[in-house]
Amino acid sequence: MHNFCEYITGFGEDSHQFRKDQTGCVIAGTYFPDAPQFDADSDGDVVFHAICQAITSVTHVPVLGGIAIELCKKEGVRNSEVFLKEALKTLNEIKIVHCVISLTALRPRLQQHEKMMRENIATILGLSLDKVGMIFTTGNSLCFASEGKGVTCRAVLSFERPKSINV
Ligand SMILES: [Zn+2]
């Protein structure tokens, strides 16, 4: 019996609309005071939610649809960093090795805050900064996010997991 590793890919997606009555939104743990607040039970952090979904796509353990709902409804947790840390616990022997985030938004202006957002993600996922990539698009007026009504995030994560092979 030999122990090998295999590499697998996870994908996650999340969107939130803006509220009309309150300002201040959180994206990748970074606070944007001038943008409207997300319409969500939690802080609506689309990046952390998309990463949770990417983790669920390989573990098959519902985080946003399970653990996070419990924490949000029963304990009043609104900070999505807490949900992401819970998602990480479900990985067990699976290790995250790379993370790419794609954000579609007309507002807030995200590019100039790229480093801070990448640092936040890298710290939580336990990755070096060069293992976290981020790309931005305004969406060319083809969706609600590109009209400035909210933000969409897609996350692709690469994982390493042990594989035992009998030879
Ligand atoms: Zn969400």
Q: Tell me: the pLDDT tens digits for 9-67?
A: 999 999 999 999 999 999 999 999 999 999 999 999 999 999 999 999 999 999 998 88
- 66, 103, 100, 104: which is closest to 86 by C-alpha? 66
99 Cα–ligand 1 center, Å: 18
54 Cα–ligand 1 center, Å: 12
3-state DSSP of the chain: CEEEEEEEEEEEEEEEEEEEEEEEEEECCEEEEEEEEECCCCCCCHHHHHHHHHHHHHHCCCHHHHHHHHHHHHHCCCCHHHHHHHHHHCCCCCEEEEEEEEEECCCCCCHHHHHHHHHHHHHHHCCCHHHEEEEEECHHHCCCHHHCCEEEEEEEEEEEEEEEECC
76 Cα–ligand 1 center, Å: 16
39 Cα–ligand 1 center, Å: 9
Name the region of 65 (left: φ>0; alpha: ψ -120 to 50; beta: rest): alpha
Domains observed in the chain: 2-165 (3.30.1330.50)
152 Cα–ligand 1 center, Å: 9
pLDDT in tens, 65-92: 888 888 888 889 999 999 999 999 999 9
Contact 152, 103 (CB under 8 A): yes
Mean pLDDT of 91-100: 97
